[in-house]
Structure 1
Amino acid sequence: MQFIDSHCHLDFSEFDSSRESLITECVAKGVNQFVVPGITLAQSHTLIELKATYPSIKIAAGLHPYFLDQHKESHIEALFEFATTNKHQLVAIGECGLDRSIENLSKQTYLFEQQIKLSNELSLPLIVHHRQSHDLIAQAFKRCKPKNGGVIHAFSGSIQQA
């Protein structure tokens, strides 16, 4: 049996001293692939090297709402260019989404919908972050329908919302 961790931030500095042993331990227990989402434009670039170092790691590129203060308007165009150039190395677009605990929902919504469009253009699934935003995500999906599926990270809504 094969298991895939569809969302883990193994690139975070907390794992610098234990990343290799952690991956080895996971593989020994049957988890042999890991999807590491992108969170900022700069970090998405660094994931290419991580993927080359650890073949069991698959990567995505995205602009996470937690890092909204780091995302500039020009980053969406740069993300399109990066993702298009590196499409063969990506398994998804994201981590993108909406988070009501963070201010500036209009900027979050703009970035989220642009990343939906990018996933549609590249025929890649989405990794969607949400926090208290099921209704906003549903509205965004109506305006900009995702065509390639994906995962809503930490979904906690109702069966009806699902």
Structure 2
Amino acid sequence: MFIDTHCHLDFEIFDDSRDDIVEECKSLNINKFINPATSFSNWQELIHLREKFSNISICFGLHPIFIEKHSQVHIEQLKKYTIENNCKLIGEIGLDKRFNNFDKQIDIFSQQLNIAKELNKKVIIHSVKTHNEIIKIIKDTSFTNGGIIHAFNGTYQEAKIFINLGFKLGIGGILSHTTSKLKETLNKVSYKDIVLETDSPDMNLYDSKESINKPQNIIKIFDLLKNIYMEDPDILEQQIYKNSLELT
């Protein structure tokens, strides 16, 4: 069995296909999904999504890409929504150096980590060119609950630090890219420390002919992992499922 630990099935692009996707995933033994938030504006949509699909776990967070939309009011609401909806995670949160508002990103990220610490929740972290900053803030806030480093594509040294801090590495479509350094990193990382994700509808597989990414591609990502770990596929599948299950 499989779990897509990071997808955005609440996005409008899935409105006409969402039911079919969830149903087809059942036939592929993809039986659970984690759907993190990107902005306060879609939190209510996530609640409706979980009401319709019991196998979709949701969590709330303020994504760094949309940080200019967020204020202190939304930080305060994050705690309320997380408690009321009995979420196991807070996310998607983090830092992204492609955007200029970095000081505000750091402030919002730090506050969200502190809320997760207070509520004893794990987190889903978005990190683009910011692994060192993320690691420093995790340590500075004494955050020890762990979670997932979304779309990990770092070095073995970075992977080892995150794992020692209690995080699983989210492995997705980046693995299919021929220039990715991820394969080299995973050769040194135990499969006990990874989870699978698609980030649907984004981060499509390198050779995909589809216009958008879909959770069904978890199977293709797993096939790529089989070539790296050279483990009995059933054992590999069971362990990665176990890694993911505690997060749902």
- The question of a shared fold, defined as TM-score above 0.5 by the shorter chain, is answered with yes
2: CA distance, partners of 1:45 / 1:109: 25
Relative to its length, the structure with more strand (as a share) is: 1
1:112 alignment partner, one of 109, 114, 129 = 109
Q: Within 1, Cα distance between the matches of 2:135 and 2:67?
A: 20
Aligned counterparts, 1:107-146, within 5 A: 107-146=104-143
Bigger radius of gyration among the two: 2
Q: Does 1:74 align with 2:73?
A: yes
Measured in 1, the distance between the counterparts of 2:88 and 2:29 equals 20
| Alpha-carbon displacement from aligned partner over 1:65-90 (angstroms, at most 9, x marks no partner) | 1111211222111212222222x2x1
Tell me how far apart the structure 2 counterparts of residues 147 and 115 of structure 1 sit (CA, whole Å). Answer: 14
- Partner of 1:23, secondary structure, is helix
Measure how far apart 1:131 and its partner are: 0.5
Conserved in 2, the CA contact under 8 Å of 1:61 and 1:93? yes
Percent identity of the aligned residues? 40
Moved more, 28-37 or 109-118: 109-118
CA distance in structure 1 between the partners assigned to 2:122 and 2:83 by the alignment: 14
Return the alpha-carbon distance in structure 2 between the equivalents of residues 146 and 18 of structure 1.
Answer: 38
Residue 4 of structure 1 pairs with residue 16 of structure 2: no
The structural deviation recorded for 1:35 is 0.3
Taking the aligned partners of 1:91 and 1:47, their CA distance within structure 2 comes to: 14
Is residue 60 from structure 1 mapped to residue 51 from structure 2 by the alignment?
A: no
SS of equivalent residue, structure 1 residue 161? helix
Whether contact under 8 Å (1:123, 1:147) holds in the other structure is no
Extract structure 1 runs of 4+ deviating beyond 2 A.
none
Count residues in correspondence.
159
Long gaps (5+) in structure 2: 160-248
Please report the RMSD computed on the Cα atoms of aligned residues, expressed in angstroms: 1.1
Tell me, yes or no, if structure 1 residue 33 matches structure 2 residue 42. no
Match of 1:101 in 2: 98
5+ residue gaps, structure 1: none
Distance 1:16 1:123 in 2: 33
